[in-house]
Amino acid sequence: MRLIRYIKEEIRVIRERDPAIHSPWEVFLYPSFRVMMHYRIAHRLYLSGHYFWARYVSQRGARKTGIEIHPGARIGSGFFIDHGNGVIIGETTVIGNNVTLYQGVTLGGTGKEQGKRHPTIEDNVMISAGAKVLGSFTVGENSKIGAGSVVLSAIPPNSTVVGVPGRVVRRDNQPLPRETMDQNLPDPVKEDISNLQKANSELINRVLELEKRVRTLQKEGRQHENL
């Protein structure tokens, strides 16, 4: 009965969040669905102290899907991995409810911690493609992490994070990630470069104007001398 409940929950989550799905049968082909079935079994084995068999089941899921979830990780309901290849979730990771990850995401450690080494991801968080969240800290609920970001410290709730290292660029003014699955987040580095390019263009135009004025003055000076 528990397995049937898990299957129904995974089907509901995938159909809710992936606009590309056309029929319920497609759900059974999704890497997210397949790896979560392996994870649920492996996690129960892990909690029972059957660590070898837990890792065995987990690694079978990883080989089939390209998604590696340590059986010791704690994952809430409504979890979804879109595409998923290259996703890695470490042993002491804690994931809340209604969290979405995209391909290439790593929830890992820095290699320095003991005990709790991996991040805690609270409810309704969206982590975009290629983002790395490394270390034992919390990403607050309703937050978004932009593609390719590297997050190394705690993130407050309701935040939008981009960059390397990741920094908060928006807070408390975004719809919930479950409602808007848009990965087009603001890029402060790109904005700074754009501002610098604009300022540089203005300076160049100013220098050209000054050079033109100097040439005009020089020409007028020569004409005056000839008189």
Q: Is the pLDDT of residue 18 over 80?
A: no
Q: What is the pLDDT of residues 157-173, one digit of tens each?
A: 998 898 888 888 877 76
Strand 106-108 to 132-134 pairing? parallel
Q: What is the pLDDT of residue 175?
A: 46
Alpha-carbon gap, residue 204 to 54, rounded angstroms: 64
pTM over the 0.95 mark? no
Per-residue pLDDT at 176: 44
Distance CA(82)–CA(129), nearest Å, equals 9
Better-scored residue on pLDDT, 63 or 186: 63
Residue 142 has what pLDDT?
Answer: 92
User: 73-100 in b/e burial notation, b at 16+ Cβ within 10 A?
Assistant: bebeebbbbbbbeebbbbbbbbbbebbb
Angstrom distance (rounded) from CA 48 to CA 24: 33
Domain 2-183 part of CATH 3.10.20.30:
no
**Continuous H helices in the chain:** 2-17, 31-47, 51-65, 188-226
Instruction: Assess whether pLDDT exceeds 60 at residue 199.
Output: yes
Domain boundaries, the chain: 2-183, 187-227
pLDDT of residue 187: 60
